[in-house]
Chain A
Amino acid sequence: MERNHLPRHLVLQRQSLFDQGLLDEQFIQLEELQDDANPNFVEEVVTSYYQNTSTLIVIIEQALGTSPLDFNKLDGYMYQLKGSSSSFGAKKVKADCTLFREYCKAGNVEGCMRTFQQLKKEYASLKRKLEAYFQLARQARVTGTASRPK
């Protein structure tokens, strides 16, 4: 289903992901690569992202529980997470990775802890919102219509 034929509430939901700063241009460019024969490229990327990075998030949390903090190791973990997050345009998560990294460079333990808690929230929030968006988009493609809000 062409994006310009998406039901209105789905268009608005999608737009809100950008308006809230959750996604950036990379997401749009990846969507543009999709076609009718392969409509799920972006969803598959996002699914793989959350499968692959869930362990990394746990590892980072464990590393933040050690004392003293190994900032070099944390830097390396954040390199991975930022690279993956940027691959599909996860703008806020990417920004939190950059901020976390600045605190690592400064040796600021509290800054790292605080930023990581923020990052986890953004990471989880984006997952919920994208799952909801993709589910509605799939339904709209299957039915060709949408359940419009009353």
Chain B
Amino acid sequence: MWKNLSLLHLYKLIYSHLHCYQHQAFEDFGASIFSEGMAPGIESSEGNNKMSKGYQYPSWKKKLTGLVVDNEELCRMVEKGIMGLCGVETQAVETGEAAVELIASGATFDIIVIDRFLPSMTGPETARKMREMGVESKIIGLFALYFEGDEEEFVAAGVDDFKEKPLSPNWLVPMLRELDN
């Protein structure tokens, strides 16, 4: 299935659900990968299998969904891209408030990655709010530079892990395997 699905179509589906900014660089990026035309639709009931020349990801038994919460545009783009290419149907938002709103509207996610620094609601505050709302997803706190007390704050907020950026495929795939099982 995934052999016949181009990245182009995957991004189309993901971006159509994004709470997203409008920025020329982002649009240029989107335009470049949307230039090839549409591919057949996703059959989501049987899981996802991504074969690339380097990696062979396991065939997920269920449809995995993810949420990226990162105010930094490029980080958000790359994290969403990596999760998507690893077979996770991913949305991305810029703020903690947007993430909470998404969840309050009924969206559910298997994995949520949250950056430490968000504009008003911080990363830990966002994670805490999600747990208070009953979110049981795997929540990962990400940081680019470490500040004293960050890890304690994230852990106290209820995250499952706390990791320095970047979000790497080698780190992500074993976690997805756990979620799939």
Instruction: Give chain A's interface residues, CB within 8 Å of chain B.
Output: 2-3, 25-26, 29-38, 40-41, 44-45, 47-49, 51-53, 75-76, 78-80, 82-84, 86-89, 97-98, 101
Contacting residue for B82 out of A33, A76, A84, CB 8 A: A33
CA distance A34 to B6 in the complex (A): 11
Instruction: Provide the residues of chain B in CB contact with A30, threshold 8 Å.
Output: 78, 82, 169
Which segment, of B22-30, B89-97, B128-136, B153-161, faces chain A?
A: B22-30
Given contacts A40-B32, A51-B25, contact A33 B85 (CB under 8 A): yes
Contacting residue for A45 out of B55, B81, B117, B144, CB 8 A: B81
**Other A-B pairs, 5, CB within 8 Å; known A75-B145, A84-B75:** A33-B54, A34-B52, A37-B8, A47-B32, A52-B73
Instruction: Provide the residues of chain A in CB contact with B24, threshold 8 Å.
Output: 51
**Which residues of B25-44 have CB atoms within 8 Å of chain A's CB atoms?**
25-26, 28-29, 32-33
CA distance A110 to B134 in the complex (A): 49
Instruction: Give chain B's interface residues, CB within 8 Å of chain A.
Output: 6-8, 23-26, 28-29, 32-33, 51-55, 72-75, 77-79, 81-82, 85-86, 115, 117, 144-145, 164-170
Given contacts A38-B8, A87-B74, contact A33 B115 (CB under 8 A): no
Contact check, B72 vs A101: say whether CB atoms are below 8 A apart: no
The 8 closest A-B pairs by CB, nearest first: A32-B54, A83-B144, A38-B7, A51-B25, A87-B78, A84-B74, A33-B85, A86-B166
Contact check, A87 vs B166: say whether CB atoms are below 8 A apart: yes
Instruction: Provide the residues of chain A in CB contact with B25, threshold 8 Å.
Output: 48, 51-52
What are 28 pairs between A and B in contact, CB < 8 Å?
A32-B53, A33-B52, A33-B54, A33-B86, A33-B169, A35-B53, A38-B33, A40-B32, A41-B7, A44-B33, A47-B29, A48-B26, A48-B28, A48-B73, A48-B74, A48-B77, A49-B74, A51-B24, A52-B23, A79-B144, A82-B165, A83-B74, A83-B75, A83-B144, A86-B166, A87-B74, A87-B75, A98-B145
